[in-house]
Chains A and B, each alone.
Chain A
Amino acid sequence: MRGFGDSRRPQGAWPPHPGPLPGGEREGPLTLTLSPGGRGTWVAALPLPLLTACSGPQSMLDPAGTQAGHIGTMWWILFATCAAVYGIVMLWLLWALARRHRWVEPRGVLPVEEGRDRGLTFWLSVWVGGTVVILCGLVTASYAVDKSLTHLANREELAVEVEGMQWWWRIRYPDDDPSRSIATANEIHLPAGAPVRLKLKAQDVIHSLWIPNLHGKMDLIPGRENELFLVAEREGTYRGQCAEFCGLQHAHMALTVVVESPEDFNAWKEAQLAPAPEPASDEQKRGKAVFLSSACSMCHGIRGTTASASVAPDLTHLASRPTIAAGTLPYNRGNLAAWIADPQRIKPGNHMPLVGVPPPDLQALVAYLDSLK
């Protein structure tokens, strides 16, 4: 997939075969084992192509976090129950139709036999009773899973602010020491195993943050602050996407979530804290001048330079990100040049205007931006 091709981790972001399904087999602080074994059997019964289709960087069926694992368990409970009920109804429907159907014109009316209707009334009561019992079971299971999602919520180790914008994600790692807080865009790095609180807000319209491999979605609503608590477990690179219709480029509002070891996470964080590197070559220097003198710096900020606008994504470490334009293109110099040359062709309607940088300046500008590792 775009932007995910070069996983920096040999263990692979999403294995070709689905890992162990949520629940039983996994170690860790799982509080819930609602489905005693057995899950593997139905999984084995599913055709293989269906199974491989289920894994992926943006799939709720391939959980990589505690919460997604619990919800995955809930899904299999719901699936098993509903499949059984559906089977019963369909079998009965088949029997009812096959019992004494006619291919002929309607003739006469069957008298209603009271005795048989009394029998059916008995079975109706059984049916309703069964429905009530099943629903009570499902409601209870749902409550239990819902409660388990916020288990450990008071042991938060990391807070990340996510702000939805038309059509990109502003990400901040706040710190009590303002000089140690990080601003980035369209990527979230998380240490594996750490309880994390994502603080969600929006300025313009309603968005919804959805990283299916880690958790269900939560809306970002102007005038409100929501939060999503999650624990990412399996290292890898996942994809999230806006799930609430937010206008023209709702389809191109994705973000990358990198779950990595605490050491890697700290290294990333330190790298992000550094201001932008000074341009090394003449071309990069010229590119920086182009950036600061053109319309670019009206919206984008680069720490360590005089560009401090924050309307659009912070570009201080642009070249370290896997994608451009909120998951629209994988990051590389060619795509970056194409994007700056005409953002409206690639992502029609987005808020980045056509700046009109002449080709030689564009080369220099891309050279400079590409140095912002």
Chain B
Amino acid sequence: MSPKDSHPSDELRDGPGLNEDETCRRLERTWGTAPGLWGWLTTVDHKLIGRRYIVTGFVFFLLGGILALLMRLQLAQPEGTLVGPDRYNQIFSMHGTTMMFLFAVPIMEAMAVYLVPLMVGTRNIAFPRLNAFSYWVYLAGGIMLYVAFLLNTGPEAGWFSYVPLSGPEYSPGKRTDFWAQMITFTEVAALAVAVEVIVTVLKMRAPGMSLNRVPLFVWSMLVTSFMVVFAMPSIMLASSFLIMDRLIGTHFFNPAEGGDPLLWQHLFWFFGHPEVYIIFLPALGMVSSIVAAMARRPVFGHLPMVLALIATAFLGFGLWVHHMFATGLPRLGVSYFTAASMMIAIPSGIQIFCWIATLWDGQPQWRTPLLFVVGFVVIFVLGGLTGVMLASVPFDQQVHDTYFVVAHFHYVLIGGAVFPLFGAFYFWFPKITGRMLSERLGRWNFGLFFVGFNVAFFPMHLLGMVGMPRRVYTYPAELGWAGMNLTATIGALMIAAGVALFIVNVLVSLRGGRIAGPNPWGAGTLEWATSSPPPSYNFAHIPVVEGLEPLWDSRGRLPVVHGLRVEEREVLLTTVVDAHPDLREPSPRPTIWPLLSALAITVLFIGSIFTPSAVVWGSIPLAVGLIGWFWPKRSRTPTEPVVES
């Protein structure tokens, strides 16, 4: 399969002509990140960026969790006085915003940034500079929101910011403007990663990894990325309308001038419901990876699993009105959304079946990642079933906007996304750091989290049915909600203890954890074919894939292709469906321009909160940044087709 040798001999390729040590040494010199601060700021290595993306996302998870604890402490008893209504409203708005926009979506994409290039067997992600840019923009948006919050300018109208409450008349000041611009930051970042993942998966897979051999995690990230591309424009539009209503006096949502508050809800939920699946589908991919490795067999029903992912993605765009059952839309219209919402249980049910079938037919190993997967099934199935209940318009009319819904979506999002994510942390931590996390601490981590979660959130189902609405900063003692609220608070503290144990585990294991080796779980996908942590160039030679679980199929001797330059950054492009070798493509070197462009766009976005003219003058530094970024470079490595043998 090696390309025909039609190049000057000074252009070294990997292959029989170079010995192994020499290949690795030269690849490291070509792909390595310079040491020191400059290297840190300019790197375009997907592993370094993915790692800092994951850490940043986790920090936001902790911040959102602290906010959740504050809310639980306030609600632990009736007429609580820990915080007043204004602070409480900012706290719950920040909690939702943080968890959805700064934790859940970014950390799922971060896992993809780290893992997808490894799992498809390539040297770097597609558009690595865009990847660096995406991280800096996301970081800037998150910092901006928290600085605003600490200056008492945090969002106050909820993570959903319904108009007119978030409009110019009822949310004066800059609080909602910071929220709306944070949306812009995170959506730009998310769209960038989505594009990178789509291109990486479709064009950079190792030879032989035809679409039917793509691992389920990669499939889930591909489907998720397409959902991001279709869902995010809706929220960009909505938040832009909101900013314009607030800053330059348009009337998109003002009923007095012909606008409509319900337009916001349609646009927001047309994004907001797919958003749930954007968080949840990557987690399903993680579960599939863990289940296959722990059950010691490939996941049963690869094709139904892929079809279920795609079906979920399509259905996910047809459900948004179930967030609006109480808005008085025509009954016939909402009935359609009842059926569509219930239908989503079919693909979800298929996936649950396939995982349990895999465990049933395999030899499950009781390791911590599997514990989190079992926790996921136990919690998520319950959350899914309450979701089926909520699809019923009459029942939803009772429990909509109550603690029943709070319980439901925490079962779905914590059970469906955070449990798999923690399982994934335990599963891939050895790959990322080279050391295993402690199993003993892992079991305690899981136990506290699992029990704490159910203690915290199960009573909320009943609380909602006996009348407790969401988003109240306090409640009267006479309604009998105190006991269940106190229970929920105790559960929240247990979750906090579980998460604290995880952090202890990470800190302890980073120094003293058992050395992992390339493949500690004996798993079958390509990321386990390289050392832990992987070298800057990922693989010394690009692997060739002959089945669904290449490492299991090849029984230890993974075939490879040769012929990529070692003195230049070069990746192999393959065809979309069959992954035949197609082209060799240069891959960008480290550069500071993505960081400078991100800073410029930050100035523009934040400036536009205060004056519309910032859009004009702010575009000048941004233009400079982008010109520097895209300044034409004479490539020393022209792309040329790989000649197949």
Contacts and interface: CB of A to CB of B under 8 A. Distances in A.
Contacts of A145: 392, 394
Question: How large, as a class, is the contact surface on chain B?
Answer: 35 or more
A2 B476 CA distance: 8
A59 B255 CA distance: 34
Contacts of B335: 143, 146
Given A109-B297, A219-B326, A120 B357 contact: yes
A339 B346 CA distance: 55
Interface of B: 84-86, 89, 157-158, 162, 164-165, 170, 255-256, 260-262, 293-298, 300-301, 304, 326-328, 331, 335, 338-339, 342-343, 345-346, 349-350, 352-354, 356-357, 359-366, 374, 377-378, 381-382, 385-386, 388-389, 391-402, 462, 465-467, 469-476, 478-480, 484, 521-522, 524, 549, 552
B345 to A, nearest CB: 6
Contact of A104 (B365, B398, B400, B401): B365
B477 to A, nearest CB: 8
B360 A92 contact: yes
A82 B382 CA distance: 8
Contacts of A121: 301
A195 to B, nearest CB: 18
Where chain B touches its partner, the secondary structure class is helix
A128 B327 CA distance: 33
B256 A223 contact: yes
Given A135-B342, A217-B400, A120 B85 contact: no
Contact of B165 (A123, A128, A149, A247): A247
Contacts of B293: 106
A104 to B, nearest CB: 7
Interface string A111-148: 11000110011011001100110010011011101100
22 contacts: A50-B462, A68-B398, A71-B395, A89-B377, A90-B378, A96-B357, A103-B365, A106-B294, A111-B297, A124-B304, A127-B353, A135-B346, A142-B393, A216-B396, A217-B326, A218-B326, A219-B326, A243-B470, A248-B85, A250-B469, A348-B84, A349-B86
Contact of B389 (A68, A82, A95): A82
B86 A348 contact: yes
A238 to B, nearest CB: 10
Interface stretch (A176-184, A201-209, A278-286): A201-209
Contacts of B386: 82
Contact of A149 (B170, B261, B394, B480): B394
A116 B349 CA distance: 20
Contacts of B331: 146, 150
B333 to A, nearest CB: 12
B385 A86 contact: yes
A74 B388 contact: no
Contact of B472 (A103, A135, A250): A250
Question: 5 closest pairs, A vs B, by CB?
Answer: A223-B255, A216-B397, A1-B478, A58-B467, A96-B360
A216 B473 CA distance: 22
A99 interface: yes
A85 interface: yes
A155 interface: no
A279 to B, nearest CB: 33
Contact of A106 (B296, B328, B350, B472): B296
B388 A243 contact: no
B89 A206 contact: no
B394 A349 contact: no
Given A56-B480, A248-B89, 6 more contacts: A56-B466, A70-B394, A85-B385, A93-B359, A109-B549, A251-B474
A61 B466 contact: yes
A216 B378 contact: no
Interface SS majority for chain A:
mixed
A120 B385 CA distance: 23
Interface of A: 1-2, 4, 50, 53-54, 56-61, 68, 70-71, 74-75, 78-79, 82, 85-86, 89-90, 92-93, 95-97, 99-112, 116-117, 120-121, 123-124, 127-128, 131-132, 135, 138-139, 141-143, 145-146, 149-150, 166, 200, 204-206, 208, 210, 212, 215-219, 221-224, 226-227, 239, 241-251, 327, 348-349
Contacts of A217: 326, 397-398, 400-401
B552 to A, nearest CB: 5
Given A82-B388, A106-B521, A124-B350, A89 B364 contact: no
A313 B605 CA distance: 43
B585 to A, nearest CB: 34
A93 B378 contact: yes
B339 A139 contact: yes
B554 to A, nearest CB: 12
Contacts of B389: 75, 78-79, 82
Contacts of B165: 205-206, 245-247
A60 B85 CA distance: 27
Contacts of B466: 53-54, 56, 58-61
A139 B465 contact: no
Given A2-B478, A251-B85, A206 B261 contact: yes
Contacts of B521: 106
A218 B256 contact: no
A33 to B, nearest CB: 16
A224 B465 contact: no
A109 to B, nearest CB: 5
B158 A251 contact: no
Contact of B381 (A89, A95, A112): A89
A138 B381 contact: no
B364 A101 contact: yes
A226 B365 contact: no
